[in-house]
Structure 1
């Protein structure tokens, strides 16, 4: 049975039995306050719960935890490597100042909950929304300009902290691509495969032209290789009331690469949520030039070839939107003739960036359709 259709009591019983196996010397292992928030069907399922147990020395212990369960059926990505995420999150949480929830366990056996899952400590804070975008509605727009600026600066400061982490000392060498391939080239190859898989034989002139543009404009030299979070944007961060970042979330795309890959993604996702959907930049948000300068100040390094990396972000997001469009059609969220996979805010921006003809007709997005 799909986890989303399973009785919460059965999920609780399965998780309790599993947790006892993870804590063989503990007694009184129990789970309370289990919640399974509604998911769209396109993403990981999240289970919130409180766990308690008594240690072998008689100490009563309790933790607020989150289980992220990989999709059981069709999903946005080809595969989900939760072991990789676990190792990265655990290293960062235990050995750096990056605010990452501490990963407690990872389970590869799908028989427990129907798919592999990762258990981490629960973090608290507010997350800028994607649907509706935080630039169009929600708590971010209720902040004053100084607070909005602080949110941006704190986001970029944490991004610089991630890039400052010594991935080799942290034991993350397993992220190094094989055969001496540069991490950026390995990333391009991965995204070409993701695109080819996700489009399922469809033509997509804008994304195809985007990959050609990337090959033709590839920098001859790169900045240092750093840890790349993979989905660097304010919508994947939790913020405290004082706008400090309390958690960096969603590490599915973690890899190694130039730091500008992340900066380009941060910039393009903000561009997508403003220019892409016809929303103004919130009054306190950093302009593109200010964001680049702020990142350079926090990181202590110049940001090179930012235009190139922002275009690379446009290619990747447009490729993801093609997959998302096909998936939403498959799941019945969109009609079979929906234009989203070819014509969406990301592909419109991509066409503009590389100077090719934009997809015709009205652009369609996941916004309001999930």
Structure 2
């Protein structure tokens, strides 16, 4: 077998040998691959044999908590959703131990499409196409929340009872684990969220990180694939909507290291996204302010964790040095939304 250059965390010869055993005939020759940049959690690789292309997902290098990077869960939700109207890559092979590439992984089909991550990328489409792309994002979310979990084989994919309470506890625990500086307002935000927990409607499959740069858009401006399912579960669908609304707001931050495209000409405002979701899904969105404020709280905690690791020298790269300055902005915006909502 011809030796190929291996990207960090992926032994291509061992991968091909495993695929040939488990899926004979899938590959037609030696594999080459590259790490796809953009993610800050699980690692994603583009792999090809020169004729066909695939994608491999594995946990980050040096991962510790298997539950935080569960390849089996991602594979399961893709397998359940692939026959539905929700566009996801077809999952092809799950490797559940460390013997092949040093960590669990899965192989899925490669889907052609563009991940729009910046205002500049969307602006190049023009206002009309930008509007269409973002509204298609909402429509795809409605399709996801319309999937019957039991019919998709996902009835046991999560515990929807007490979902919001558990989510709030989880993110408070995350905050405590990385809290090493004063964060004015974050305890007030957490307390207010806990005091105003809305009553959840019927549970659905939730993505957990639904935003424009986690989907691939085709040349027809339709969503070709929803990616990055590592935070998916069964729960309250409005948590996905609240996160999408948060990413659709324009924050007073110049050159933010958190990807946003909300400033592109033609981008629908949050009120229109909420209205479209409500109209097409039939769900009551009157409590969306709570879900949006919770999204700000969750992102504040995530960003504080990144900032904490940066201060310890455990995270390097462009933009990480500015993450800490965003945390107070997210806290303040969450409080404002709750007080106004």
Q: Say yes or no: TM over 0.5.
A: yes
The one-character-per-residue Cα deviations of 1:314-338 (angstroms, maximum 9, x if unpaired) are 0100111011112334335279x95
Q: 1:66 aligns with which of 39, 50, 55?
A: 55
1:261 matched to 2:239 = yes
Distance 1:328 1:317 in 2: 16
CA distance in 2 between partners of 1:258 and 1:176 (Å): 11
Instruction: Determine which of 324, 328, 331 is the counterpart of 1:350.
Output: 331
Q: Contact 2:7–2:34 at 8 Å: present in 1 too?
A: no
Count, aligned residues: 325
Q: Is the 8 A contact 1:76 1:323 kept in 2?
A: no
Q: Secondary structure at the match of 1:118?
A: strand
Q: Give the CA deviation at 1:189.
A: 2.5
Give the Å deviation of 1:36. 1.3
The question of 1:296 aligning with 2:278 is answered yes
Cα deviation, 1:275-326, whole Å, max 9, x if unaligned, reads 2434872221111111111111221323130111000000100111011112
Question: Structure 2: where are the runs of 5+ without partners?
Answer: 256-261
Aligned position for 1:45: 43
Please provide the CA RMSD for this pair: 3.1
Provide the residue aligned with 1:367 in structure 2: none
- In 1: Cα distance, 2:188 partner to 2:31 partner: 50
Q: Which residue matches 1:176?
A: 158
Cα pair 2:42 2:69 within 8 Å, conserved: no
Aligned equivalents of 2:115, 2:65: Cα separation in 1: 21
The 3-state SS of whatever aligns with 2:323 is coil
Over 3 Å counting, the alpha-carbon distance change for 1:78 and 1:204 in structure 2 is: farther
Matched, 1:238 2:216: yes
The question of 1:98 aligning with 2:86 is answered: yes
Cα distance in 2 for partners of 1:128, 1:205 equals 33
1:22 to 1:251, Cα distance in 2 relative to 1, 3 A: same
TM-score (norm 1): 0.78
Is the partner of 1:174 in helix, strand or coil? coil
Q: Paired residue for 2:297? A: 315
Q: In 2, distance between residues paired with 1:38 and 1:14?
A: 20
| 1:14-163 equivalent positions in 2, closer than 5 A | 14-23=14-23, 26=24, 29-32=27-30, 34-37=32-35, 39=37, 42-50=40-48, 63-73=52-62, 79-93=68-82, 95-129=83-117, 134-135=118-119, 137=120, 139-163=121-145
How far the C-alpha of 1:119 sits from its partner, in A, is 1.0
In the other structure, the counterpart of 1:368 is none
Distance verdict in 2 for CA 1:230–1:77, change over 3 Å: farther
CA contact (8 A) 2:296 2:333 kept: no
Indicate the residue corresponding to 1:226 in structure 2: 204
The TM-score, its normalising length taken from structure 2, stands at 0.85
Q: Deviations over 1:169-204 (max 9, x none)?
A: 212122232xx842222222322333333x165553
Q: C-alpha displacement at 1:30, in angstroms? A: 4.1
